[in-house]
Amino acid sequence: MTALTSTQQQQVLAKIEADYQVAELALAKSFPRPKVEFTLRGKAAGMAHLQLNKLRFNPVLLTENFDTFIEHVIPHEISHLLCFRLFGKVKPHGREWQHIMYNVFKQAPKTTHQLDISSVQGKQFDYQCECGVVTLSIRRHNKVIRGEMQYRCRRCGHTLQAVTNHQAMISAAKID
Which H helix or E strand runs over 83? helix 74-87
Residue 59 and residue 5 in contact, taking contact as beta carbons nearer than 8 Å: no
Whether 77 is a known active-site residue: answer yes
Beta-carbon contacts of 134 under 8 Å, excluding residues fewer than 6 positions away, are: 126, 127, 128, 153, 160
Residue 22 and residue 105 in contact, taking contact as beta carbons nearer than 8 Å: yes
Residue from 61, 65, 12, 1 nearest 37 by CA: 12
Residue 68 and residue 115 in contact, taking contact as beta carbons nearer than 8 Å: yes
CA 99 to CA 109: how far, in whole Å?
A: 8
Catalytic residue, candidates 71, 77, 130, 148: 77
Residue from 127, 132, 124, 126 nearest 155 by CA: 132
Q: Which residues are catalytic?
A: 77
